[in-house]
Amino acid sequence: MASPTEHEVLAAVLQIRGGTLQVLAWQRALPPDSGRWALPGGLLGDDEDVEQSVRRQLAEKVDLREVTHVEQLGVFSRPDRVPGVRRIATAFLGLVPSDADPAVPPDTHWHVLAAPAPVLANAAFDHADIVAAARDRLRAKLSYTNLGFALAPREFTISALRDLYVAALGHPVSATNLQRVLTRRAVLEPTGAVAPPGPAGGRPAALFRFTDRTLRVTDASAVLRAPSGSPGEGTRGAVP
């Protein structure tokens, strides 16, 4: 009634590739669940916490410098989630900018997260649940934080950014309003440079960058904010 457990960390690494949201997974060669697709991760080391561990494990699959954001999703602990042993997982969301193309091992591939279909077909263990949680977290945070920085290249046009938001959110986004909202919130700033038009012509697009490249909550709205001039201790920011 309280045996020792193994503790693993797992990461759902998401990237927008070719206009669709995709997740990195590798194909298991050995039982259990051989042939199925698993998330990168591994057992927690003795002298590291879960955050350090997931970064270490990820470094074995992708160039860590390409992972622009990592955050904890939660614990997955069903007693039967891995057959034979009691293994508890701390799951993470990882994000890679759309212009990166990290080298990955031969057993590792990107998988499209199709809209209505299951998030990761033929997934090992409970890894499909983790991918679903990662996608939901990304969608939620894109709306009220500056998390877009983790999906976008250093510099980009508004329509390129719009395409990223469309792919991640799964619904239409107006480039016009996207620019205005993000600019008002001081999330974006113009670089001054412009991108050359495509072969069909068209006005050259201005280039933008994110003002910050670390997570920041930008929509304090959420109502019930402190009155204009008031004490208030400053909430949110630790949302999760």
Partner DNA sequence: CCAAAAGTGTTTTTTCTACACCCATGA
Partner DNA sequence: TCATGGGTGTAGAAAAAACACTTTTGG
Whether the CB-CB separation of 58 and 68 falls below 8 Å is answered with no
| Binding of a copy of itself by 88 (CB under 8 A) | yes
Among 29, 106, 117, 171, binds a copy of itself (CB under 8 A): 171
DSSP notation for 52-108: HHHHHHHHTTS-GGG--EEEEEEEE--TTSSSSS-EEEEEEEEEE-TT------TTE
Among 59, 121, 194, 239, binds a copy of itself (CB under 8 A): 239
Q: Which residues contact 27 (CB under 8 A, 6 or more apart)?
A: 35, 36, 37, 38, 107, 108, 109
| Binding of DNA by 3 (CB under 7 A) | no
Beta strand 108-112 pairing with 87-96: unpaired
Binders of a copy of itself in range 5-64 (CB under 8 A): 5-7, 43-51
Nearest to a copy of itself of 142, 188 (CB atom): 142
- H-helix segments, 99-197: 127-144, 158-169, 175-184
CB of 103 to a copy of itself, least distance (A): 25
Among 50, 132, 181, 217, binds DNA (CB under 7 A): 181
Nearest to a copy of itself of 15, 90 (CB atom): 90
Beta strand 87-96 pairing with 69-76: antiparallel
CA torsion 65-69-75-79 (nearest 10°) is -40
| Binding of DNA by 164 (CB under 7 A) | no
Q: Which stretch binds a copy of itself (CB under 8 A): 94-102, 117-125, 167-175, 204-212?
A: 167-175
Among 35, 83, 105, 170, binds a copy of itself (CB under 8 A): 170
**Binding footprint of DNA, residue count (CB under 7 A):** 31
For DNA, the binding residues (CB under 7 A) are: 157-159, 174-177, 179-181, 184-185, 194, 196-206, 219, 221, 223-225, 227-228
